[in-house]
Amino acid sequence: MLLTRNDRQPWRENPNTSYRKDFAEIVAAIGLDPEEVTAYALRHSSIVRAILANVPIRVVAARHDTSVSMIERNYSRHISEHADQYAQQGLLQAPPPGADNVIPLAGR
């Protein structure tokens, strides 16, 4: 469950409708436009944080009541913004100088 009330109980059905006024007041109080920033932004932020934390997409989809294909459709265009960071993690790195646990390949 993405959000709970102060008493740890789940929100009522359709929180974007049920809590629209409350959420709009909070958004306005922090200087944003309630017509542009809705409660749905919290869901989006949660999905993005999970993706950037390398949570498997299937798990992200299940926790947000959506599908892998829907996440890929909506977030794939933003992957390039973070691609270098993740691609470099998969590259082979030269061993640091003095590494004594590197075994040279025969004939090389």
pLDDT in tens, 42-64: 888 889 889 888 899 999 999 99
- Does residue 45 belong to any structural domain of this protein? yes
39-45: long-range pairs with CB below 8 Å, 24+: 39/15, 40/16, 42/2, 42/3, 43/2
Q: Are 34 and 27 in contact (CB under 8 A)?
A: yes
- Does residue 53 belong to any structural domain of this protein? yes
Q: Is residue 14 over pLDDT 90?
A: no
- Does residue 64 belong to any structural domain of this protein? yes
- Does residue 68 belong to any structural domain of this protein? yes
- Does residue 107 belong to any structural domain of this protein? no
Number of domains in the chain: 1
- Does residue 95 belong to any structural domain of this protein? no
Q: Is residue 35 over pLDDT 60?
A: yes
At residue 54, the pLDDT reads 83
- Does residue 10 belong to any structural domain of this protein? no
Structural domain range at position 45: 15-84
- Does residue 32 belong to any structural domain of this protein? yes
Q: Are 91 and 82 in contact (CB under 8 A)?
A: no
Q: Are 15 and 3 in contact (CB under 8 A)?
A: yes
